[in-house]
Structure 1
Amino acid sequence: MKKLLFLLIIMMAVGGLLGLLMRQDSGYVLVAYNGVTIETSLWVLLAGMIVALFVMSWIKRILFIALKPSSSLAKVTGNLAQKRASRNTIRGMLELVGGNWHKAEKLLTNSAEKVPYPLINYISAAYAASEQDEHERSKALLRSAHKSTPEAEFAIGFAQSQIQMKQGHYESALASLLRLQKLKPKHKQVLKMLVTVYTKLKDWDALLTLTPTLKKDGIFDDDNMLELERNAFLALLDKIKFRNKLGQSSQELVVELETLWNKLDTLSQDTEMSVLYARTLIQFGDHAKAENFIRHKLNQKWSEELIFEYGNIDQGTYKKLLANCENWLKKEPASANLYLVCGRLSQSMMLWGKAKDYYEQALALDSQNEALAELSRLLKAMGETKASQDLMMINLNHASKRLKTLPLP
C-alpha cells in the first residue's frame, strides 16, 4: 500500500513538472518530406511517439501468439478441433449402434486423428466396414489402429477375431484367438470364442483339451458344459464307430472309448449318454466293462434305460447277473424292465418256470413291455400254443394302435 502511494506521489510530481514545462514553452517541430510538411509542438510529438511504441508492442505480441504453434491461440484452435472431433466420434458411435454403417465409418475415420484416443475410432470403424462386407477396408482400419496404439495388441486382436468369426473365416479367427490366449490364458470371452470356433471347425479333439480349463475357471455353467461335452462325445463316437466298421480292432477302440468317456466327466450326469456308452461297450464286445459300468451307475442312481441294457450283457456268468438283479428287486419292485431282465437271465439259465413268472410280473406292471413278446415265444416253445397265440394277438393289438389310420377292405 505504501509503495502504491509513493508511486502515485512520484507520478503526480512528474506530471506537474511536465505540465509546468509545457506551459512555459510548448516547443516547435517541423517535419518535411517529399513536399509534405508536418508542424506540431514538441510535446505532441513526444506523446505520439509514446503511443506509437505502445501500439507496436501490442502488434508484436499478437503476431508472436498467432505464429507460435504452442501459443495460446494455437491451443484454442486445437481445442476447438478436438471438441468437434469428439462430437463426431460420439455421433459415429451412435450411428454404429443404430446400424448406419456407412455414416458411422465415415464419422469415426475422419475424426480419428483429432481425438486423444484414435484406437476406439479405428476399431469401431473396422466393425462398421465389416458390416458392409468391406473386408479389406476393415483390415486396413485395424492396421491403422495398431499403428496409432501399438501397445493395445490384445484389444485390436480381439476385435479382429470377432470380425473374422462374423465373416465365417474360422481358420483365421482360430489363429487370432490362439495368439490372444497366449497373452491372457484365462480370458473368459476368448475361451468362449475358441469353443465356438472349434465347434464350427469340428475340431473335437482340440475342444477336449480345452474342457479342463473351462471347468476349472467356470467359463460355462453345468448345463452348457453338459451340452458341449454331449456334442463332442457324439461326434467322436461316430468316428470311433466308423473305424470299427472299417475293421479296426474292437479292443483298441474300447480303450479309446473309455479314455474319451473319462475325459468328459460331466456326461456321467446324463442318463442318455450313459446308456449310449454302455450300449457301445456291448456292441464292441466288452461285456465285462459294460456290466461293471451299468452296475455301478445303478447302485448310484436307478435308471430304467440302463437296467434294460443290463439284459443285453452276454458274459456267461448269468447266475451272478441274476443275483444282482434280484438284489435290486428289493429296492425297485415296481421296475418292469428289471423283471424283464430277470426273465431273460432266467431263460438263459434254462429256468423256464422262473423266466415265465418274471415275464408275467413285468407285464403286470407294464402291459406293453417287451416281456410280452418274450413270454409269447417262451410259451410256444413250452407247448402252450393257445396262451402264446393270445399273447401274440395282444401284442398285435398294441402295435396296431400305433399304426396310422387307413381305410381297410
Structure 2
Amino acid sequence: MRKLLFILVIVMAIGGVLGLLMRQDSGYVLIAYNGITIETSVWVLVAALIVALFVLSWVKRILFIILRPSNSLSRITDNLASKRATKNTIRGMLELVGGNWRKAEKLLTNSANNVAYPLINYIGAAYAANEQDEHERSKALLRTAHKSSPEAEFAIGFAQSQIQMRQGHYEGALASLIRLQKLKPKHRQILKMLVAVYTKLKDWDALLELTPTLKKEGIFDNDNMLELEKNAFLALLNKITFRNKLGESNKELVTDVEKLWNKLDTLSQDDHMRQLYTQTLISFKDEEKAESFIRHSLNKKWSNDLIYEYGNLRELAAKKLLANCENWLKKETSSANLLLVCGRLSQSLRLWGKAKDYYEQAFSLDSQNEALAELSRLLKAMGDTKASQDIVMVSLNQASNRLKTLPLPQEH
C-alpha cells in the first residue's frame, strides 16, 4: 500500500512539473519537407512520439506472432484443434459402445491425426468397421494403427485376434493368439480366447496341453474347468474308441486312456466321468485296472454309480470282490446298488441263499432297482415259481402305477 502511494506521489509530482513547464513555455517546432510543413509545440511532438513508439511496439509484436512458425497463434490454433479432436474421440468411443458403428468410425478416424495418441482411435475405428462387415477397411485401420504406434504390438494384436474371432477366422485368430501368448504367457484373457479357439477348431490335443497352465493361473473356476475337461475327454475318448474298431491292440488303447485320464485330474470329481472311465477299461479287457481304479476311487469318494460297475467285472476272483463289497457295506448300509452287486457276486459263487437275502435288501431300499428282476429269476431257478410270479406281479403293479390315466374299453 505504501509503495503504491509513493508511486502515485512521484507520478503526480512529475505531472505537476511538466504542467508548469508547459505553461511557462510550450516551445515551437517546425518541420518542413518537400513542400510539406508541420508546425506544433514541443510537448505535442513529444506526446506524438510516445504514442508512435507504443503503436510500433504492438505492431512489432503482432508481426512476430504471425510470421514466426512456432508462434503463439499457431499454438492456440493447435490447442483448439487438439481439444476438438479429443472431444470427438470421446464421442466416437461413446458411439462405439452404443453400437452406432458408422458414426463411431467416422468420428474416431477424422480425429485421429489431432490427438496425442491416435492408437485408440484407429483400434476403435477398426472394431466399428468390422461390425459393419467392412473387413478390408478394418484390416487397413489396424495397419495404420501399427504405423502410428509400432511399440503397441500387443494391444494391436489383441484387437486383431478379437476381430478375427468375430469374423469366424479361427485359424488366423489362433496364429495371432499364439504370438501374443509368447509375449505374455500368463495373460488371462489370451488364455481364455485360446480355449475358445481350440474348442471351435476341435483341437482337443492342444487344449489338453493348455490345461496345466489354466489350472496354475486359476483361469476358470472348478465347474467351468470340469466342463472343459469333460468335453476334451469325451472327444479324445471317441478317437481312442474308433482306433479300437480299427483293430488296434487293447493294451495300447488302455495306456492312452490312462494317460488321458491322469492329465485331466478334475474329472475325478464327476461320478459320471469316473463311471465312463471304468466302463472304457472294462470294454478294453483290462478288468484289473478297472477294479483297482474303482476300489481306490470309492475309498476316497463313494459313488452309487461307480459301485454298480464292480458287478460287471467277470474275469476276476468273485470271492475277493465280494469281500471288498462286504467291507464297504459296513459303512454304506443304505446303498441299494452295493447290495445288488453283493447279490450278484454271491450268486456267481453259487451262494443262493446269500444272494437272495442281498437282493431282497436292495429291493427294500429301492423298488426300482434291478435286484427285483434278479430275485425273480433266482427264485424261479430255485423252484419257487409262486414267489417268482409274485415278484413279477409286484413289478407290473409298480409299472402300472407309473402309467397315465387313459380311458379303457368297458367289459359287457
TM-score by length of 2: 0.89
Residue 149 of structure 1 deviates from its aligned partner by 1.2
Q: Any idea what SS the aligned residue of 1:29 has?
A: strand
Aligned to 1:391: 391
Residue identity matched to 2:342: C
Aligned to 1:28: 30
Backbone CA RMSD of aligned residues: 2.8
Indicate how the Cα distance of structure 1 residues 405 and 257 shifts in structure 2: closer, same or farther if over 3 A, else same: farther
Aligned to 1:104: 104
| Cα distance in structure 2, aligned partners of 1:38 and 1:258 | 119
Instruction: Please show how residues 181-330 of structure 1 align to structure 2 within 5 Å.
Output: 181-330=181-330
Q: Any idea what SS the aligned residue of 1:28 has?
A: strand
Q: Any idea what SS the aligned residue of 2:33 has?
A: strand
Aligned to 1:59: 59
Indicate how the Cα distance of structure 1 residues 22 and 182 shifts in structure 2: closer, same or farther if over 3 A, else same: farther
Residue 10 of structure 1 deviates from its aligned partner by 12
Residue identity matched to 1:163: I
Identity of aligned residues (%): 73
| Cα distance in structure 2, aligned partners of 1:29 and 1:22 | 19
Residue 235 of structure 1 deviates from its aligned partner by 1.3
Residue 82 of structure 1 deviates from its aligned partner by 0.7
Residue 127 of structure 1 deviates from its aligned partner by 1.2
Residue identity matched to 1:255: T
Residue identity matched to 1:127: Y
Aligned to 1:94: 94
Residue 364 of structure 1 deviates from its aligned partner by 2.0
Q: Any idea what SS the aligned residue of 1:331 has?
A: coil
Greater shift in the superposed pair: 149-158 or 54-63: 54-63
| Cα distance in structure 2, aligned partners of 1:155 and 1:380 | 76
| Cα distance in structure 2, aligned partners of 1:252 and 1:22 | 128
Residue 241 of structure 1 deviates from its aligned partner by 1.3
Indicate how the Cα distance of structure 1 residues 29 and 295 shifts in structure 2: closer, same or farther if over 3 A, else same: same
| Cα distance in structure 1, aligned partners of 2:29 and 2:361 | 145
Q: Any idea what SS the aligned residue of 1:326 has?
A: helix
Residue identity matched to 1:346: S
| Cα distance in structure 2, aligned partners of 1:403 and 1:174 | 54
Greater shift in the superposed pair: 169-178 or 377-386: 377-386
Residue identity matched to 1:281: L
- The 8 Å contact of residues 322 and 342 in structure 1, kept in 2 or not, is answered as yes
| Cα distance in structure 2, aligned partners of 1:113 and 1:147 | 13
Indicate how the Cα distance of structure 1 residues 400 and 249 shifts in structure 2: closer, same or farther if over 3 A, else same: farther
- The 8 Å contact of residues 198 and 207 in structure 1, kept in 2 or not, is answered as yes
Residue identity matched to 2:301: K
Aligned to 1:125: 125
- The 8 Å contact of residues 86 and 111 in structure 1, kept in 2 or not, is answered as yes
Post-superposition Cα deviations, 1:93-141, rounded to whole Å, max 9, x if no partner, equal 1111211111111111111111111111111111111111111111111
Residue identity matched to 2:245: K
Aligned to 1:346: 346
Residue identity matched to 2:165: M
Residue identity matched to 1:30: A
Greater shift in the superposed pair: 245-254 or 288-297: 245-254
- The 8 Å contact of residues 288 and 316 in structure 2, kept in 1 or not, is answered as no
Residue 407 of structure 1 deviates from its aligned partner by 6.5
| Residue 68 of structure 2 is aligned to residue 68 of structure 1 | yes
Residue 397 of structure 1 deviates from its aligned partner by 3.9
| Cα distance in structure 1, aligned partners of 2:368 and 2:19 | 132
Aligned to 1:40: 39
| Cα distance in structure 2, aligned partners of 1:175 and 1:402 | 57
| Residue 58 of structure 2 is aligned to residue 81 of structure 1 | no
Q: Runs of 5+ in structure 1 lacking a partner? A: none
Post-superposition Cα deviations, 1:130-187, rounded to whole Å, max 9, x if no partner, equal 1111111111111121111111111111111111111111111111111111111111
Residue identity matched to 2:178: L
Greater shift in the superposed pair: 41-50 or 110-119: 41-50
The aligned length equals: 404
Instruction: Please show how residues 347-362 of structure 1 align to structure 2 within 5 Å.
Output: 347-362=347-362
| Cα distance in structure 2, aligned partners of 1:138 and 1:407 | 67
Residue identity matched to 1:344: R
Greater shift in the superposed pair: 66-75 or 181-190: 66-75
Post-superposition Cα deviations, 1:298-336, rounded to whole Å, max 9, x if no partner, equal 112221111111000122311100111111111122221
Indicate how the Cα distance of structure 1 residues 399 and 52 shifts in structure 2: closer, same or farther if over 3 A, else same: same
Q: Runs of 5+ in structure 2 lacking a partner? A: none
| Cα distance in structure 2, aligned partners of 1:401 and 1:209 | 52
| Cα distance in structure 1, aligned partners of 2:370 and 2:171 | 50
- The 8 Å contact of residues 359 and 371 in structure 1, kept in 2 or not, is answered as yes
Q: Any idea what SS the aligned residue of 2:34 has?
A: strand
Greater shift in the superposed pair: 82-91 or 40-49: 40-49
- The 8 Å contact of residues 250 and 285 in structure 1, kept in 2 or not, is answered as yes
TM-score by length of 1: 0.90
Indicate how the Cα distance of structure 1 residues 239 and 70 shifts in structure 2: closer, same or farther if over 3 A, else same: same
- The 8 Å contact of residues 29 and 42 in structure 1, kept in 2 or not, is answered as no
Residue 387 of structure 1 deviates from its aligned partner by 2.6
- The 8 Å contact of residues 101 and 128 in structure 2, kept in 1 or not, is answered as yes
Residue identity matched to 2:309: E
Aligned to 1:168: 168
Post-superposition Cα deviations, 1:348-373, rounded to whole Å, max 9, x if no partner, equal 12222222222222222222211122
Residue identity matched to 1:230: K
Indicate how the Cα distance of structure 1 residues 130 and 232 shifts in structure 2: closer, same or farther if over 3 A, else same: same
| Cα distance in structure 2, aligned partners of 1:119 and 1:317 | 72
- The 8 Å contact of residues 356 and 375 in structure 1, kept in 2 or not, is answered as yes
